[in-house]
Structure 1
Amino acid sequence: MSILYTATYSSRLHTFRQNSPEVAELIEQIAVAIKHERQPLKPESLVNVLIAHADALVMQLPSCVARLDNWLKVLAAYEGKALEDHEVSAFVKAATRLGGPSGLQAG
């Protein structure tokens, strides 16, 4: 089952669409791309991590893009390869536009 079917994801995606459509689009793309069955987190936990990263992007917190990049790279490096490297690159490029000038700072 895709993480798109959790109640938390649906509710938060709706909120993001109203308040920050660009972030909503990015997290939706990430959620669709993650092969959740190839990583150890339960869908609800995976959603919680994704939403935390989305919240940080919306607030343009320092190093929000760097932290998202690290997490996505972990998913790509995990033995099941839950994401492809080219997907990580595309998502980080999009997040860089959204995370503000301090988003890339190492945290």
Structure 2
Amino acid sequence: MTFDLYVWHEPAPISADAAEAKVREGRFRAHPAVPAFRDDLLRRFPPQQAPGVWTMTPDTSDSVLALSCVWSRAGEFGDAVRTLAAEHGLVCYEPGTHLLDPNAPAQ
């Protein structure tokens, strides 16, 4: 079992339904905060760290990151991702529970 999150930039607040539609349709715009967030997240959770958190290392992207971690680390990982996303002004969507957190302000 995995814990999955998506992180991207939105210029204005959106709803969880709109976030889900964006994930399904893959409609994301590039923003420099996305690769900066990935770099910071990989410093926090290095791919080669044991015991590992990643089920797969997120691909490099300038528009959206699909993040997947092992279920046993979901709490720690989710808290870190949401905090870091807020620091970078990014939206974080959890499709398993249909939660959009945080709905970051435009930057």
Structure 1 length-normalised TM:
0.33
> As a proportion of its length, which structure holds more helix?
1
Higher strand proportion (structure 1 or 2): 2
